Amino acid sequence: MASTLDSSSGLWTVLGQASNVAQLVGVDALGLVSMVVQAALAARRHRDACRRLAQHVEIVGGLLRELELAELMRREATRRPLEQLSGALRRCYALVTACQDCRGGYFGRLFRGTRMAEELRAAEQEIDMFIRLVPLIALVDTTHDRRIKATERVQSVAASCSSLQTRTQTRVVEFTEISVQGAIAKVGKQLLEEKVHFEEQKTKDVEEFVKLCTCTQESYPGFKKYDLFQIVDGTENFSEKRIVGSGGFGTVYKGELSDGTIVAIKRFDEHATDFNSEVQLLRLQHCNIVKLLGWCVHGKERILVYEFIHNGSLDFIIFDKTKGPLLTWYKRFGIIKGLADGLVYMHKHPLLWMMHGDMKPDNVLLDHDMNPKIADFGSARTLSSEAGQGQTSRVVGTRGYIAPEYASRGLYSLKIDVFSFGVLALVIISGRKNAILQQKGMAYVECWKAA
């Protein structure tokens, strides 16, 4: 560790005097992680090196979020390495901040040479060391907690048995200590197994998502992989003001790529598991179906990138007192016809029959010419044949639009979309919300039926 720290000591002597670094003394490690990542996004020089360093710092941040930092800082064995980590993160922040502005002075001379590139590589190596060290800190913390709990329980039993003879008391304490340690070990093992299983399942989901997207990318050259920093840049770090929609599987943001392209970025929630139906969109190239452009996976982040439809969803227009009247009968008929064309294409596709499963105004997007595009395929299912049907214990849909046989028994087929389309057509014609939605407080339905 010392050699790595010494490699950056020369530059840190200069950077440590900077006012912006001095202000970081009271910031905790997780706060520093966030600041380094944000600063790296604004780097003007050595941009690739800064972002690569930020990616390594982000891995450390993910490990730190699994720990109780406040408790660890009270113990000598774990406090010192965490303080060294904070120092390393402050150095990283100073480096990437310096890369934001290269005008004159010491930093100007530094940029013109190779010194800054070397310092960034040294900082990256130092952070890599902490990536290996943080899990060891967690292990020390777990061992410490188990020892404390065992001691407290043994002392409690010993106090309650104070009236017994010394020899008997000793045997009871010894027996109790063994029992308590055994119980703690058993519970600890169970919790560890559950945590490991949960982490393995999440890792498995991410690996399957990567595999699916990679295979799809080979078959469809237009489908590309995006870097997380492109996504973060384009959404202003997933700013709330960029949100254009949300649902049961994730949040959709309006993003702008470096080349000026406006896109819709769907960021999946952690509990989302079924991505196959979303990626299947690449097979459905139709003017009335939203187009899928690419994907991104970084750590726990799973993201899909779509074309951006500028007029937004149908429900924001048709139910609006000002915009609603602008939808003439001709335009409403065009929307209904476009939706019908899109559904027929999905249901009659030569390679697969796909059921959307959640047709409603929120999932219909309108372009500049008010042409509809079917969106949000998170509830979609593929069928083996046109007349095929299936049954599921997990029913997902929207009250007022969900077919009765699907809601009550979990039976699904292409008829599900036909029912929803009929309700949707009535809503478009009348310009009124479904009465069932007005009567119910919760419109979205997700439930599990008994098998």
pLDDT tens-digit readout, 328-368: 999 999 999 999 999 999 988 877 788 898 999 999 999 99
Q: Which tens digit of pLDDT belongs to each residue from 195-252?
A: 444 445 555 667 777 787 887 777 777 788 898 888 998 999 899 899 988 766 788 9
CATH number assigned to the domain covering 206-307: 3.30.200.20
- Averaged pLDDT of the chain: 75
List % helix, strand, coil for the chain (3-state, nearest 5): 55, 15, 30
Can you tell me the distance from the alpha carbon of 352 to that of 388, in angstroms, rounded to the nearest whole number?
11
Residue 68 pLDDT exceeds 90: no
SS3 of 298, please? strand
CA–centroid distance for 376 within its chain? 17
Contact predicate 428/364, CB 8 Å: no
Q: Which value, in Å, is the radius of gyration of the alpha carbons in the chain?
A: 29
CB count within 10 Å of CB 353 equals 19
Closest CA to 98 of 56, 48, 39: 39
Binding-site residue set for ATP: 266
Contact predicate 274/208, CB 8 Å: no
CATH number assigned to the domain covering 315-448: 1.10.510.10
Can you tell me the distance from the alpha carbon of 123 to that of 129, in angstroms, rounded to the nearest whole number?
10
Residue 450 pLDDT exceeds 70: no
Strand (E) or helix (H) holding 228: helix 228-234
For residue 371, name the pLDDT band (cuts at 50, 70, 90).
very high
Q: Which tens digit of pLDDT belongs to each residue from 257-297?
A: 888 899 999 998 877 666 677 777 777 889 999 999 998 88
DSSP class of residue 46? S
Residue 253 pLDDT exceeds 80: yes
SS3 of 188, please? helix
Can you tell me the distance from the alpha carbon of 420 to that of 375, in angstroms, rounded to the nearest whole number?
14
Active site residue 205: no
Binding-site residue set: 266
Which residue in the list 358, 362, 376, 417 is annotated as catalytic?
358
Closest CA to 301 of 398, 225, 193, 391: 225
Instruction: Delimit the domains of the chain by residue range.
Output: 2-157, 206-307, 315-448
